[in-house]
A and B are shown apart, each in its own frame.
Chain A
Amino acid sequence: MAYYVLTLAVYVVVGIIACWGLNLQFGDTGVLNFAYILFVAAGAYTASILSLGHPNASSYQHYFWGAHLPWPIPWLAAAVVGGLLGLLVGLLVLRRLRGDYQAMVLLVVSIMGSYIVSADPGFLNGGVGLALIPQPFKGVLHLSQVGYEVFYLALAVLAAVAVFEVVRRINASPLGRVLRAVRENEAAAAAVGHNVAAVKLLVMVIGGAIAALAGAIEVQFIAAWAPAGWDYTETFGLFAAVIVGGRGNLGGVALGALLVQGLFLEGTVLLPNIGNPALIGAIQWMSLGALILIFLYFRPQGVLPERRRTYSSDITTGRNRLASPLAALTNRSARG
C-alpha cells in the first residue's frame, strides 16, 4: 500500500511540474502551446537514451544512439533538449505566425512528433517504445522497493522546488509583468516597446525545458515510454488542470493538477462498476470536458484565482525599462 501511495505521489509531483511549465506559457503569457506534451516526450526520450547506454544490435530495443550517464545528467540534458526544442518550435511557429495560426500549427507539430517516432522503429523503438530504462542510483543504494520510492520521491520534490523557484522568480520579476502584459493585450504590449515575439520565444524555451524535465522524472520512474502515452490529446488534460486550479497562480495550478488528475478522474473509479470497463474511461473524459466548461463559465479564474495585479501601469510606464526580456530577468530592482 505504501508503495502505491508513493507511486501516486511521484506522479502528482511530475504532474505539478508539468503544469507549472504550461502555466508559464498559457497562464502567464497566453501562449496556447498545443504541442506541450511533445516537450514532455522529448525530455522522456532524452533521459531514456542517456541512461540506457549504447544500443545493442542484438537487443529487441532499437534506438539511434545512447549513453549511460549518471544522474542528474539525464535530467539536465532533458531540460536542455526541451529548451532547444522550444527554441526551434518557437522560431518556426511564433515569430511570424498570427496567434490563431500558432495554436493550430502547434497542434499539427504535436501529431507530427508521434508520427515521426512511430514511422521509424530504429529511431526510438517505434510504437513499442523504450523500456527497462535504468533508475538513478538503483544499483548503488540497495534500498527496499519502498525505500527506493521514498528516495525517488525526494529527488522529484527537489526538482519541483527548483522549478517552483524559477517560475516564482519569473512571476515576481519585471519579466513576469511583461508576460502578463503580453497576455492581456498583445498589441498594447508591443506598442509600449515590448518585443512580444522574443517574450513568447523565451517562455517557449523555459516552459519546454520544464516540460522535458517532468518527462525525464516520469520516465526514470516508470522505466518505459511509448507514443500511445503522449497522444496530443494528453495536452488538454494539462490545460484542464491549469484552468480549474487557477491560471496564473502557482499554488492554484498545483491544486488543479492534484484535483483534476487525481481526485476527479480517479474519483469515477469509486462509482459502482457499470459493467463495461471502457465505459468508465469514456465517462471520465466526458466529465473532464464538462468540468472545463463549468469552470470556464462560472469560475473562469479557477479555484485559486491569480492575485490581482494592475497591468495598466506596466503598459504605460514600462516602455523603455524592458527593452529586452532577458535584461528584465536580471533587473530585479525594477520590481514594482
Chain B
Amino acid sequence: MNSLISSLGFGIVTASILLPAAVGFTLQFSATGVLNIAFGAQMTFAAYIAFICTQAGLNIWLALLLAGVFGAVFSALLNRFLLTPFARRGTTFFGMVVVTIALALLIEYLVEIIWGTMSVNYKMTGTGVVHLGAMSFTHSQLVVMAIGLVIAVATHSLLKYTRIGKAIRAVASNTELARSSGIPAQRITDTAWLISGLMGGVAGVMLGISLSSVSYTMGDTFLIEIIAAAVLGGVGQVYGAMLGALAIGVLLEESAIVLGGAYAPISAFAVLILVLLVRPTGIMAGAAEAKGIA
C-alpha cells in the first residue's frame, strides 16, 4: 500500500510534465486542425536550448523560461513559414500530418547533428528531498509540480477570460461561429501555435530536469505519452488533456508497481485503448459532442 502511495507521488510528477505538453498539443490541434507529430522534436530542441543556457551559467529556472520563449517563437515561425503555406495550398488533414512528420525528422536530426547522440545534463544546484507521508519529492520536482499547476490555472484563465482564449475555444467547437467573433482566423492560428510552442518548450525542459538527462530522442519518445493523454482526454479538449495527463502519469507509475517496469507502458496504453472502446472520443467527449464537433 505504501508503495502504491509513493508511486502516486511519482505519477503526479510525471503528470505535471505531461500536463503542459498535452495541453499545448491539444490546444493547437483544436484551434488549427493540424495534428503536430513534430511536437516531441520541438520539445527536445527547446530542452537543448535550455542546456546551452545553463552551460552559459544561467540558472535552470531562467533557462526554462528562455527555452519556453524559444519554443513559442520557433513554433510561431514554423506556422507562418511552413504550415500556413501548405494550408493555403489546400493540403488535406492527412497531408498536414505527413508535413509534420517530415518536420519532426528535420528537427530531430538537426538536434542530433548539433548536440550529438550522447546525453547531457543540466547543471543544477540544491537537490534536497521533502517527505510527505509515503511520498517524497526533490526540490526540483516540487518546482516542476508547481509549474504544472500554474500552467493549468493560466490555461484556464486564458480560455475563460481573454478575448483570444474565448476565440480559440470558439474555433475549437465551431469554426463558423469563430468567424463571427471578430478575431481574424490567422491571429487565432498564430496564437495557438505560439502557446503550443511555449508549453512544449517548458515541458521539454521539465522533462530534462525530471529525467536528469537530455537526449536527442527524448521528446520523440515522450510524444507517445502526450498523445495518449490527449486522446484519453478527448482530442481538442483542454481540460480533458489535463485529466488525461494525470491519468496517464499515475497509470504509468502504478502499473510499474503492480506489473513490473517492463510492462508499465504497455498497461497504460492498454487502458487507453479500453477507454476508447467504451468512450470513442475520450473521457471529456460529452462536451465536444454537444458542440457538434465529435
The size bracket of the interface on A is 35 or more
Whether the pair A32, B273 counts as a contact (CB closer than 8 A) is no
Is B131 interfacial (CB-CB < 8 Å)? no
Which applies to chain B's interface (DSSP): helix, strand, loop or mixed?
helix
Is B162 interfacial (CB-CB < 8 Å)? no
Is A66 interfacial (CB-CB < 8 Å)? no
Is B154 interfacial (CB-CB < 8 Å)? no
Give the total of B residues in contact with A, Cβ under 8 Å: 47
Whether the pair A105, B273 counts as a contact (CB closer than 8 A) is yes
Whether the pair B102, A289 counts as a contact (CB closer than 8 A) is yes
Knowing A112-B266, A289-B105, say if A296 contacts B235 (CB, 8 Å): no
Docked CA distance A109–B228 (Å): 10
Docked CA distance A119–B231 (Å): 24
A92's partner among B108, B231, B273 (CB-CB below 8 A) is: B273
Chain A residues within 8 Å of B116, by CB: 278
A-facing residues in B171-209 (Cβ within 8 Å):
none
Whether the pair A283, B280 counts as a contact (CB closer than 8 A) is no
Docked CA distance A65–B199 (Å): 47
Docked CA distance A297–B82 (Å): 10
Chain A residue with Cβ nearest B259: A119
Chain B residue with Cβ nearest A118: B262
Task: List the count of A-B residue pairs having beta carbons below 8 Å apart.
Answer: 125
CB 8 Å contact bits of A258-296 with B (1 = contact, 0 = none)? 000000000000000000001100110110111111001
Chain A residues within 8 Å of B228, by CB: 108
CB 8 Å contact bits of A105-148 with B (1 = contact, 0 = none)? 10111011001101110000000000000000000000000000
Chain A residues within 8 Å of B262, by CB: 115, 118-120
CB distance from B141 to the nearest CB of A (A): 25
A-facing residues in B39-93 (Cβ within 8 Å):
82, 85-86, 89, 91, 93
Of A10-18, A94-102, A215-223, the one with at least 4 CB within 8 A of chain B: A94-102
CB distance from A177 to the nearest CB of B (A): 19
A282's partner among B86, B109, B294 (CB-CB below 8 A) is: B109
Whether the pair B89, A297 counts as a contact (CB closer than 8 A) is yes
Chain B residue with Cβ nearest A183: B94
Whether the pair B105, A108 counts as a contact (CB closer than 8 A) is no
Is A326 interfacial (CB-CB < 8 Å)? no
Is B145 interfacial (CB-CB < 8 Å)? no
Chain B residues within 8 Å of A278, by CB: 112, 116-117
CB 8 Å contact bits of B195-233 with A (1 = contact, 0 = none)? 000000000000000000000000010001001101100
Is A30 interfacial (CB-CB < 8 Å)? yes
B-facing residues in A13-47 (Cβ within 8 Å):
26, 30, 32
Can you list 22 A-B contacts (CB < 8 A)?
Answer: A30-B94, A96-B280, A98-B235, A98-B280, A105-B231, A108-B272, A109-B269, A109-B273, A112-B265, A112-B269, A112-B270, A236-B101, A279-B113, A282-B110, A282-B113, A288-B102, A293-B103, A296-B95, A297-B85, A297-B86, A300-B89, A300-B95
Chain B residues proximal to chain A, CB less than 8 Å: 29, 35, 82, 85-86, 89, 91, 93-95, 97-99, 101-106, 108-110, 112-113, 116-117, 220, 224, 227-228, 230-231, 235, 262-263, 265-266, 269-270, 272-273, 276-277, 280-282, 294
Having A109-B273, A293-B103, A296-B86, one finds 8 other A-B pairs with CB under 8 Å, namely A32-B94, A96-B276, A98-B294, A111-B269, A236-B101, A236-B105, A282-B113, A289-B104
